[in-house]
Amino acid sequence: MPFKSDIPLMIVPEYGRTLKAEEWSPVIDALLAGEHFVLTTHENSDGDGLGSEVALALVLKSLGKEVSIVNPTEVPPNYKFLKRLYPITMFNNKSEDALQELTLCDVVVLLDANLRDRMGSLWPHVSFSKELGSLKLVCIDHHLEPDDFTDVMVCEHYASSTGELVYGLIYALQERLGRALFTPEIAEALYVSVMTDTGSFRFPKTTPYVYQLAGDLVSKGANAAVIYDNIYNSLTPQALKLLGAALSAITILDNGEISWLFISQDMLKATESKLFDTDLIIQYLLSVPSVRLAVLMVEMQDGRTKASFRSRGNVYVNQLAKKYGGGGHMNAAGCLFPFSSDKAQQVLLEDVRLFLKQL
């Protein structure tokens, strides 16, 4: 008998609200005052973070600023085409260029993350420069419950994506400067952000405003079909093998309410796939309509365990992730367990059951 669902999708009245130009003033002041910028996003970057930083880098460059994009982890293969629009460097403590950029810059803009730890290996350097008083940290994001660690922050969780916010920021900047700033390249980068973070315009935050914005970006030169093809029709044979193995390993527990998947290093090795190949799998965990909470756990190379949560209705998984130092959105969140995957699975399953029971 198929599981049935009567769980309503969340619609929040503030979804689709846009910021007034004056609400962007602190960000615009910081951007116009800065000379030398480093833009960055969270570890294991996604389309939203990457598209947002490329779009903002292109805008700042056109204003005559020095701009580098330096990320804590590498660009996943299906987003590498963005590097054609702007160079993206991966930071590690041995890379002299990236270290120099971080030392020279006077403004760091963090996009699509609102917790200091999400900056990974960049944070100690940013924090050091900030303490010296030589650096301003600006954050633009749309996740829940931001940390207090920046100088200027716009964190609006009703926005579909960080790209949606950057789009509004560029319009506010155009108004302030009295000149046009959008180019086809900027439109392309922002379209990547909005398309990926709305699950290709399917998620609840896909408001009429988001469709208008997408239409505006297409009219400014973004090629929707080519962008979709670049990002989603880009699986390697290894990633397909992993998908097959992962789908067979999904378990549906507790009367269909929980879907559960653990991907081990052995599974990644057997299919010769990579960590970022796991990203497309989580959507299948929520494709059974009775599922209220979906958990994907991935064993990392260093022994830690990465957990991603998706949920339906009033199951606010950001609260679950927060318990372990993570965070995210109401229906999509994640965290990193510092201990072995056996222990992580055991602890988390108990917690997930308790969490659902008390709702």
| Residues lying near Mn ion in the complex (CB under 5 A) | 48, 112, 162, 197
Q: Which is nearer to Mn ion, 58 or 195 (CB)?
A: 195
Distance CA 334, CA 325 (A): 9
Structure tokens, 214:
């997408």
Write down the least CB distance from residue 193 to Mn ion, Å. 7
Q: Which is nearer to Mn ion, 162 or 345 (CB)?
A: 162
Look at strands 107-111 and 136-141 and give their pairing: parallel
Which whole-number Å values give the CA distances from 176 to 18, 28, 189, 292, in the listed order?
17, 9, 22, 45
Q: Which is nearer to Mn ion, 197 or 257 (CB)?
A: 197
Write down the least CB distance from residue 215 to Mn ion, Å. 20
Q: Which is nearer to Mn ion, 188 or 197 (CB)?
A: 197
Name the closest residue to Mn ion (Cβ): 48
Q: Which is nearer to Mn ion, 34 or 163 (CB)?
A: 163
Write down the least CB distance from residue 296 to Mn ion, Å. 18
Which whole-number Å values give the CA distances from 355 to 7, 145, 174, 320, 341, in the listed order?
17, 19, 46, 8, 20
Q: Which is nearer to Mn ion, 98 or 169 (CB)?
A: 169
Write down the least CB distance from residue 162 to Mn ion, Å. 5
Write down the least CB distance from residue 291 to Mn ion, Å. 23
Distance CA 52, CA 299 (A): 29
Distance of CA 85 to the CA centre of its chain: 19
Which whole-number Å values give the CA distances from 299 to 45, 168, 269, 348, in the listed order?
18, 38, 12, 14
Write down the least CB distance from residue 46 to Mn ion, Å. 7
Look at strands 305-311 and 332-337 and give their pairing: antiparallel
Distance CA 45, CA 54 (A): 12
Q: Which is nearer to Mn ion, 197 or 279 (CB)?
A: 197
Q: Which is nearer to Mn ion, 126 or 165 (CB)?
A: 165
Write down the least CB distance from residue 202 to Mn ion, Å. 15
Positive or negative CA dihedral for 216, 219, 221, 222? positive
Nearest C-alpha neighbor of 297 from the set 312, 310, 288:
310
Q: CB of 173 within 8 A of CB of 181?
A: yes
Write down the least CB distance from residue 52 to Mn ion, Å. 8
For residue 252, how many other CB atoms are within 10 A of its CB?
16
Which whole-number Å values give the CA distances from 249 to 252, 268, 350, in the listed order?
10, 13, 20
Write down the least CB distance from residue 197 to Mn ion, Å. 4
Q: Which is nearer to Mn ion, 112 or 257 (CB)?
A: 112
Q: CB of 142 within 8 A of CB of 133?
A: no
